A and B are shown apart, each in its own frame.
Chain A
């Protein structure tokens, strides 16, 4: 037993410390992920997105902003795999660089909206009382607006641009996370283990941060992953409407928007950015479904 390596201990579920026990849990999750073809496809797409974004300069045959006016709107060929746009820029290269915009948007929105929603929701559900009432009424008001329209209003107020679009999406995105975290916290706060910890004299802050929040995380992660597809679509929509990333940015929504002018004569200019959006959204959806199967505590034996 002593000569068993860390890896075998983790794989067999014979941990020698709490950290190893958590690794063993992760390993079990990875095994479940591996067993589900749909989730695995999602993981592959998102992993490909990250790798492409990191290695964009190495993978792209041309610069994303390199114009060649003699080469406008060329159909896909060996030279330009996905054709060229109205300025003779290589669409394949622009889609590759566009992954950076997509990841940037998705990560920032997730980092702003989810922690805020989680903290407000978990506190609201655990504390109850006036704090809960206030937080839930504000959430109800925020939920009463259609998301894209509210984002449009925010962007109009802040001025068009990628960062303002991200802020607008994050500002319209937090209410579902508040709802989810609160729903989880409501069931958690009545449980005996929270009562036991309260009886040990733990402060409310400690209970919320160390005991309630970690239990809200699984369902939040699932929701967040499933929401990412929507975030990409709204970001692309704002780019399409000229309120998000601005031309000549190699952002997929912007590319789609400028390509739509040539839809009938040069179908590739709008089609390929659209397909890129489609595949990444599908990747996030598949991953979200897979995570739900893994993280749902009811699945645990």
Chain B
């Protein structure tokens, strides 16, 4: 094994391609996710940004190599990977089991990995994501979208991962709830010293959440920006400029 140093990337992609049939969703993409940083992937629908997360999580097959702490990952993800990398999905209505209580869903990761002290871990994680303990005994259809997303975040955090893969975690939520969930994610990142790989089509969200971002188009990275560059509008490629203009919202031509 290659000796692992804190300065090394926690996750590295080397010329990773993902194909769906004949369609090339991601084309020879390479980037490094450094320990402790928050990296954003932005682009329109179909730019391959969610597919990258799924490839890292092992849900879709990929070509090229994906490295976790310097170790190349095979087709199946092992338990040490599960403990280190967790994911929060876009649709909070689809990411929770519809017929299990919240308590049961939060017990599941601990049971799978055979971890002890379940009870207090579950109640404390509910507190950390700002949900009352009485919600443990509800079913997903009995709570709101924002609350579901908090549960999904709690479930991902239970295994105390270093890295969270966030697949548009707020795009299915109301604007007011979006801000709450984003604040929660920022707080958690500071408290737990987490590394985020944050996928979004919303430049404003990525701008507040991320230190660095990659602009994706047609499965390729067209530009890398720092949060500062994004704020000052210091972009070079026309596509990134177009996205930036679009994110300023609709202004009537007067």
B101 touches A200 (CB 8 A): no
Contact A199 B101, CB 8 Å, known A21-B137, A21-B139, A25-B139:
no
B101 touches A21 (CB 8 A): yes
Residue of A14, A17, A195, A215 contacting most chain B CB atoms (<10 Å): A195
- Set of chain B residues within 8 Å of A191, measured between Cβ atoms: 94
* Proximity string of chain B (101-129) to chain A, C-beta cutoff 8 Å, 1 when within and 0 when not: 10110001100110000000000000000
Within 8 A of B (CB), among A262-301: 297, 300-301
Within 8 A of B (CB), among A133-188: none
14 residue pairs of the A-B complex, CB under 8 angstroms, read A18-B104, A20-B137, A192-B91, A195-B54, A195-B87, A195-B89, A196-B87, A196-B155, A197-B108, A199-B58, A200-B112, A202-B112, A215-B99, A297-B99
A18 touches B137 (CB 8 A): yes
Distance (whole angstroms) from the CB of A208 to the closest CB of chain B: 14
Give A13 to B98 CA distance when docked, in angstroms. 17
Give A15 to B138 CA distance when docked, in angstroms. 8
Residue of A16, A199, A215, A300 contacting most chain B CB atoms (<10 Å): A199
Contact A201 B112, CB 8 Å, known A196-B89, A196-B155:
yes
- Set of chain B residues within 8 Å of A195, measured between Cβ atoms: 54, 57, 59, 87, 89, 95
Q: Which chain B residue shows the least CB distance to A195?
A: B59
A201 touches B57 (CB 8 A): no
B82 touches A199 (CB 8 A): yes
* Proximity string of chain A (1-26) to chain B, C-beta cutoff 8 Å, 1 when within and 0 when not: 00000000000011111101110010
Q: Tell whether A211 is near chain B: CB-to-CB under 8 Å.
A: yes
- Set of chain A residues within 8 Å of B113, measured between Cβ atoms: 200-201
Give A291 to B94 CA distance when docked, in angstroms. 24
- Set of chain A residues within 8 Å of B79, measured between Cβ atoms: 201
Give A78 to B41 CA distance when docked, in angstroms. 85
Binding site for A on B (CB under 8 A): 54, 57-59, 77-79, 81-82, 85-87, 89-91, 94-99, 101, 103-104, 108-109, 112-113, 134, 136-139, 141-142, 152, 155-156, 159
Distance (whole angstroms) from the CB of A181 to the closest CB of chain B: 15
- Set of chain A residues within 8 Å of B103, measured between Cβ atoms: 17-18
- Set of chain A residues within 8 Å of B98, measured between Cβ atoms: 193, 215, 297
Distance (whole angstroms) from the CB of A198 to the closest CB of chain B: 7
Give A202 to B109 CA distance when docked, in angstroms. 8
Q: Tell whether A247 is near chain B: CB-to-CB under 8 Å.
A: no
Q: A201-B112, A215-B98 are in contact. List 9 more A-B contacts (CB 8 A).
A: A17-B103, A17-B137, A193-B98, A195-B59, A195-B95, A196-B95, A199-B58, A200-B82, A215-B99
- Set of chain A residues within 8 Å of B109, measured between Cβ atoms: 200
- Set of chain B residues within 8 Å of A15, measured between Cβ atoms: 137-138
Binding site for B on A (CB under 8 A): 13-18, 20-22, 25, 191-193, 195-202, 206, 210-211, 214-215, 297, 300-301
Count, A-B residue pairs, CB within 8 A:
83
Query: Pick the contact of B108 from A25, A200, A215 — CB < 8 Å?
Result: A200
Query: Pick the contact of B97 from A17, A206, A211 — CB < 8 Å?
Result: A211
Q: Which chain B residue shows the least CB distance to A22?
A: B101
Give A215 to B97 CA distance when docked, in angstroms. 9
- Set of chain B residues within 8 Å of A16, measured between Cβ atoms: 134, 137
Give A22 to B94 CA distance when docked, in angstroms. 20
Give A198 to B155 CA distance when docked, in angstroms. 13
- Set of chain A residues within 8 Å of B90, measured between Cβ atoms: 192
Contact A192 B94, CB 8 Å, known A18-B136, A199-B87:
yes
B96 touches A201 (CB 8 A): no
Residue of A192, A202, A210, A300 contacting most chain B CB atoms (<10 Å): A192
Give A211 to B111 CA distance when docked, in angstroms. 14
A201 touches B99 (CB 8 A): no
Distance (whole angstroms) from the CB of B59 to the closest CB of chain A: 5
Contact A192 B108, CB 8 Å, known A200-B82, A301-B141:
no
- Set of chain A residues within 8 Å of B142, measured between Cβ atoms: 13
Distance (whole angstroms) from the CB of A4 to the closest CB of chain B: 13
4 closest pairs, A vs B, by CB?
A: A201-B82, A192-B95, A15-B137, A18-B101
A206 touches B96 (CB 8 A): no
- Set of chain A residues within 8 Å of B59, measured between Cβ atoms: 195, 198-199
- Set of chain A residues within 8 Å of B112, measured between Cβ atoms: 197, 200-202, 206
Distance (whole angstroms) from the CB of A272 to the closest CB of chain B: 43
Distance (whole angstroms) from the CB of B152 to the closest CB of chain A: 8
- Set of chain A residues within 8 Å of B86, measured between Cβ atoms: 199-200
Contact A193 B82, CB 8 Å, known A206-B112, A301-B141:
no
- Set of chain B residues within 8 Å of A301, measured between Cβ atoms: 141
- Set of chain A residues within 8 Å of B95, measured between Cβ atoms: 192-193, 195-196
A199 touches B94 (CB 8 A): no
Distance (whole angstroms) from the CB of B220 to the closest CB of chain A: 25
Give A197 to B87 CA distance when docked, in angstroms. 10
- Set of chain B residues within 8 Å of A193, measured between Cβ atoms: 94-98
- Set of chain B residues within 8 Å of A215, measured between Cβ atoms: 97-99
Give A22 to B54 CA distance when docked, in angstroms. 33
